[in-house]
Amino acid sequence: MRRTRKAKIIATLGPASSTPQAIESLFRAGADVFRLNFSHGSHADHQARYDTIRALEQKIGRPIGVLADLQGPKLRVGKFADGKIKLETGATFRLDLSPELGTSVRAPLLHPEVFAAMNVGTELLLDDGKLRLRVEQHGGDFAETRVIVGGELSNHKGVNVPNVVLPISPLTDKDKADLDFAVDMGADWIALSFVQRPGDVLEARKLIARKVGSRVRLLSKLEKPSAIDYLEEIVELSDAVMVARGDLGVECPPESVPILQKRIIKCCRSAGKPVVVATQMLDSMVHSPSPTRAEASDVATAIYDGADAVMLSAETASGDYPVDAVTMMDRIINRVEEDDQYTVITDASRSQPENTTRDAISAAARQVAHTLKAAAVVTFTSSGSTTLRAARERPQQPIISLTSGIEVARQLALVWGAHCVPTQEVRSFAEMVQTAAKAAQDESFAHPGDRIVITAGVPFGCSGTTNILRVAEIEESGEVL
């Protein structure tokens, strides 16, 4: 089974999509990677879904990626005596560390790190930004605020503190336990929530490094405006990045989110790191069999911008039309990638290759494949780096990624254009060419008379040594010239 598109689809699993039949239907509809959201469900739930994915992988014969998404710290108000209150615009309202039930004039906010970071004038957003408070007076255990935008506030609603770096780790005790479980389970990617600064990424990397033999990759979710101040450093330290537009859209003005999306994608493209665009992409399809025109345009914009993957959340986890949502996203991506303007935009936004052998080879491979109208670019990779550099070039041809490691093949399921095929490790130049030609034909990318462009590294099996470019023509006999 092969896809006809280059950008990938991530589908979140949940109550609406956890049976073997549902997961297979999502995959056949177009899902390339499955997201396990550790904000919901038990370890047993996630293990069962993971086992189902791996059984499907064996049945289909194609690597499938699994993304374990950590919850991260959640700042919330406490409970109210009557369950909810009404905040009037212009009124005063107190937040404090007292665990007593909230009233119309105060509420518990049991997060001392928030009080430690705030200043007079700091704005607090409640319930996904529906309510807005401004701090007028504060101490180590309280804040007197003025209600700027009022409304109803109920138990355990979320609190956002925009434009403030909170003295808090992105990894709670729950997250650390979830991370250990996900790595032991065999997840291919760990998604780190609440990233504010480069040190947050390093903290997660240290925890992953403790797991002996782990090759899991780290995806940083950019959902805090403070992370944008360290964008280049965070991208450099991460294996991939997600534009998490939900919280980002709460803490930033709505008109800034599209601009930030383009900036993040451009930075990741330049660094050769996969980038995912997420949140409410086809949100109306949670309860409708078709999206709004604006949602279809939103997905298309992410593809035109150059995203490696787009993600569905509630649409597939708890929605009424999970398979329809994946099918629609697949249709939109295919339609955009068929557009001549997509090629023009992609070529215009390509970054200059870095001054390295692997970048020179990858850039040359794209140019040669384009000039010769080759059927595919075939990469041999042990760590994934050769395929990542090929994907950075955004060739018009599909990228067939050959690797002897199934873990690498699963991880590359997230990467733009990469069709991953596990294969035996090659030991000679002739074996490399024959293996590439056979894979291109077996996977229905090339036929007799076609040419393929091959990139690899010598010595074979050593990561980061891309230094070979070979053009091969497939003869009628299936042999190569």
Report the CATH number that the domain containing residue 153 is assigned in CATH.
2.40.33.10
Same domain, 281 and 386: no
Residues 193 and 61 in one domain: yes
Residues 28 and 173 in one domain: yes
pTM beyond 0.95: no
**Residues 315, 408 within the same domain:** no
Domain assignment present for 343? no
Mean pLDDT computed over every residue of the chain = 94
Q: How confident is the model at residue 475 (pLDDT cuts 50, 70, 90)?
A: confident
Q: Is residue 2 part of a domain?
A: no
One domain for residues 378 and 239:
no
Provide mean pLDDT across the span 150-170: 92
Task: Please say if the pLDDT value at position 481 is more than 60.
Answer: no
Q: What pLDDT is attached to residue 254?
A: 87
Q: Tell whether 346 is covered by a domain.
A: no
Query: For residue 23, is pLDDT > 90?
Result: yes
- 1 in a structural domain: no
Is residue 186 a part of any domain in this protein? yes
- Checking if the pLDDT of 79 tops 80, the result is yes
**Residue 41 shares a structural domain with residue 152:** no
Label residue 458 by pLDDT band (50, 70, 90).
confident
Domain identity same for 183 and 270: yes
Q: 115-142: per-residue pLDDT in tens?
A: 999 999 999 999 989 999 999 999 999 9
Same domain, 302 and 376: no
The 10s digit of each residue's pLDDT in 25-71 is: 999 999 999 999 999 999 999 999 999 999 999 999 999 999 999 99
Q: What's the domain range around 465?
A: 357-473
Same domain, 141 and 220: no
Domain boundary among 160, 178, 213: 160
> Is residue 116 domain-resident?
yes
* Same domain? 13 vs 135: no
Residues 176 and 144 in one domain: no
Residue 224 is part of a domain; what is its CATH number? 3.20.20.60
pLDDT of residue 466 exceeding 90: no
Residue 479 has pLDDT above 70, yes or no: no
Domain count for the chain, please give it: 3
In-domain check, residue 344 = no
pLDDT reported for residue 249: 86
**Torsion, CA 364, CA 369, CA 372, CA 373, rounded to 10:** -160
| Band of residue 477 on the pLDDT scale cut at 50, 70, 90 | low
Active site residues: 35, 76, 221, 279
Instruction: Let me know the angle formed at the C-alpha of 39 by 133 and 303, rounded to the nearest 5 degrees.
Output: 85
**Which one of 160, 181, 203 terminates a domain?**
160
Bridge partners, residue 147, by sequence: 133
Dump pLDDT digits (tens) for 180-234.
999 999 999 999 999 999 999 999 999 999 986 778 999 999 998 899 999 999 9
Q: What is the pLDDT of residues 230-284, one digit of tens each?
A: 999 999 999 999 999 988 888 888 899 999 999 999 999 999 999 999 999 999 9
pLDDT band of residue 2 (cuts 50, 70, 90) is confident
Boundary (domain end) residue, out of 116, 135, 160 = 160
Q: In this predicted model, what pLDDT tens digit does every residue of 411-444 receive, in sequence order?
A: 999 999 999 999 998 889 899 999 999 999 999 9
Whether residues 183 and 307 fall in one domain: yes
